[in-house]
Each structure stands twice: as structure tokens, then as C-alpha cells.
Amino acid sequence: MTDHEIFELGDVILQRGATLRDAQLAYKTYGTLNREKSNAVVYPTRFGGRHTDNEWLIGPGMALDPSEYFVIVPNMLGNGLSSSPSNTPPPYGKARFPRVTVHDNVRAQHRLVTERFDIEKLVLVTGYSMGAQQTFQWGVSYPKMVERMLPFCGSARTSTHNFVFLEGVKAALTADAAFEDGWCDVPPTTGLRAFARVYAGWALSQSFYREGVHLEQGYSSLEDYLIAFWEGNYVAKDANDLLAMIWTWQHADIGATPDFGGSLEAALGAIEAKATVMPGETDLYFPVKDNEYEVSRMPNAELRPIPSIWGHFAGSGRNPEDVRFIDDALKELLGA
């Protein structure tokens, strides 16, 4: 009953030193690779998301039209489909899953693209949130390969404030002793619910709640929204998987790419792709300001904030107006 495929990575030596043995990259493709192999797009997944969560941006008549492009959606390591705490056998599963960086993810994706599909150029790399962080990393790691990029609602380096926000959700989850430092056999549901409730304040904007947009989504009250949407989403997730992805997120930094010596600016300057960088105008943890600085250091980039009160969720595909705005920008960039 899988609707995705697996690329066997073998034993992968990770950026921080551990070896991820028999590593697997789960992915799905949409559309057909043309004979010239000139229509490939890479579209990595977000925090807690899977390839299916990317599909709202793919479809007939949209920029990512499968009749025109070959869209590869690689699942992020840690997301439960690619190698993750929840599916890695001992001794490396659960709390012992090694630290995986955004750089590690993009190296694995590059192997998929080149080894399995023999693709040399990507028309576009795009992604939302942590998918945007992977997009930036693609632009830095493979500048000659990435022709265009459109990272939305994500930054090239996780800011300190964003790091602190993540400390909060982590602390809420792990305050539940049932988590057993990652060795639990039963989900720590109280911690997962707390995680969800903390997250609910961050993912949307003050104005989203002020205008009661949550009530227009089929929820009968604020509490109904917090339980049905937020807790419902996170009680179904694996706690170790979430924490593995959060570690990846907290340490996202294109400056840490080998050869850039920790310099964000040097890494940004190495990006050759034509880029449209799209923060959500009211995003609380990937604010416009971080992208503004990054764009100022990129050779060929435009900043185009998404005018939305949906906060970080402006890039989640839930608000039709935001979807249209992002899709229009993709069409423009792909036409360029």
C-alpha cells in the first residue's frame, strides 16, 4: 500500500560524523522525465510532512503541471518514510537516530537525482518551510545544477529566535515523562498534545486568530480547532521523528556547507540560480526580515513576500489565495 518508491542510499556518512547504515530515501515522482532530461523539478518536504503534503502545488494548469514537468518529491530524512527514528532498526532507531543535517538531506537527494535518473540540470528547486531550507542548500551545494529556485516560508539559516521557538515545542513534548527519553513503546500523547498546543500559537498570525479564520475552516470553536486540527495532527506522529526533524531544523545553516567556513554570506553569494524568495508576510518564526537579508546577499534573487494573514501557514497550501500567489510566482519564474 505504498504510493512511493525507495532509493537505497547504502551506508551514508553524515555531516556530523555518524554513519546511517542502509539508509533509505523515500520519494515520489509526478509527470514524466523527457528525453533531454530537461524538465526535472525537485520539491523537498516540510517539517512533519510527507510527499502527499506537497501535492497541493502540483496539478494540471498549475506551474508544476505534471504534463510538462517531472517533479521529484524526496521525503526528508526523519519524516517516517525515509530513514527515521521510527523505522530504523537497532542499534540506531528511536533515541539513537543520528543527527542529520539539511546538507545530508540534499546530498542524498542529489544522489537520487543523478544516480537513479541521470539528471544533470534542474529547472527548479522549490519547497516550503524546511523544504525551503533544503532549497537554499540545493542552490549552494549544486550551483551549476540548479537553474531556478523558489524557497517559500523558510530561511537559509535558522535564526536564533526560530531556534528558541523550537526549544519551546521540544520542551513541551519532553516534559511528558512517558516519552522515556525516546525509549517509549507507547506514544507520549500528553507531550504530543502539549507540543501541538504550543505550535498552534506560532504557525499562524495574530491577525489570523483575530479575524477568526480558524472558525471558517470547519471548526466549531477555538478549543475544537486546537484539539481536532492541532492535537489530531500531532498525536498521530512519532515523537522521535519529530525531534529528529527539529534537530535538523535547528541546525539548518547553508554556511556550514564544506568550503564556506561557516559564512552565511559566502554561501549565499555562491548561489547561481535565479531565485524568488517568498516569506509569509506575517510568519512568526521565518519572518520576512531574515529572507530580506539573505536576498541582499544573493546574486540573482528577488524577495516577494506573500501578502497573507496566515502566518507560516501562508505556504501550507491551505489558503486558496496564497496558493494562487505562490503558483503565479512559480509560473513567472519558470517562464523566465
- Cα separations (Å) of 216 from 137, 202, 209, 255? 36, 19, 11, 41
Q: Does 319 bind a second copy (CB under 8 A)?
A: no
- Cα separations (Å) of 110 from 71, 91, 135, 194, 203? 14, 27, 12, 36, 30
Binding segment for a second copy (CB under 8 A), chosen from 14-22, 28-36, 140-148, 189-197, is 189-197
Q: Does 176 bind a second copy (CB under 8 A)?
A: yes
Find cell 504550543 and name the residue.
198
Examine the residue annotation and report whether 251 is marked as an active-site residue of this protein.
Answer: no
Q: Does 220 bind a second copy (CB under 8 A)?
A: no
Binding segment for a second copy (CB under 8 A), chosen from 19-27, 87-95, 185-193, 238-246, is 185-193
7 strand-pairing partners: 25
Find cell 521540544 and name the residue.
170
> What stretch of H or E contains 166?
helix 160-174
Least distance from C-beta 26 to a second copy, angstroms?
31
Name the residue type at position 219: Y
Q: Which position among 53, 238, 253, 283 bears the catalytic label?
A: 283
Q: Which of 59, 66, 93, 168 binds a second copy (CB under 8 A)?
A: 168
Residues 6+ apart with CB under 8 A from 90: 96
Q: Counting Cβ atoms within 10 Å, is residue 267 exposed (0-12), middle (13-18) or buried (19+)?
A: buried
**Nearest CB to a second copy, comparing residues 49 and 287:** 287
Residues in the chain: 336
Task: Give the Cα separation of 48 and 53 in Å (integer).
Answer: 9
**Nearest CB to a second copy, comparing residues 45 and 158:** 158
Q: Tell which residue, 63, 78, 123, has the closest CA to residue 242.
A: 78
Q: Does 212 bind a second copy (CB under 8 A)?
A: yes
Q: Which position among 238, 312, 316, 322 bears the catalytic label?
A: 312
Least distance from C-beta 190 to a second copy, angstroms?
5
Binding segment for a second copy (CB under 8 A), chosen from 44-52, 175-183, 300-308, 326-334, is 175-183
Examine the residue annotation and report whether 283 is marked as an active-site residue of this protein.
Answer: yes
Examine the residue annotation and report whether 129 is marked as an active-site residue of this protein.
Answer: yes
**Nearest CB to a second copy, comparing residues 136 and 165:** 165
Q: Which position among 82, 129, 205, 316 bears the catalytic label?
A: 129
Q: Which of 13, 22, 143, 161 binds a second copy (CB under 8 A)?
A: 161
Q: Counting Cβ atoms within 10 Å, is residue 217 exposed (0-12), middle (13-18) or buried (19+)?
A: exposed
Binding segment for a second copy (CB under 8 A), chosen from 95-103, 167-175, 256-264, 267-275, is 167-175
Q: Which of 19, 114, 120, 171 binds a second copy (CB under 8 A)?
A: 171
Q: Tell which positions 225-254 bind a second copy, by CB under 8 A.
A: 226
Beta pairing class for 124-128 and 274-277: unpaired
Q: Show the cell assigned to 159.
A: 535564526
Q: Does 102 bind a second copy (CB under 8 A)?
A: no
Residues near a second copy, by CB under 8 A: 159-165, 167-178, 190-191, 193-194, 197-202, 204-210, 212, 222, 226, 284-285, 287, 289-290
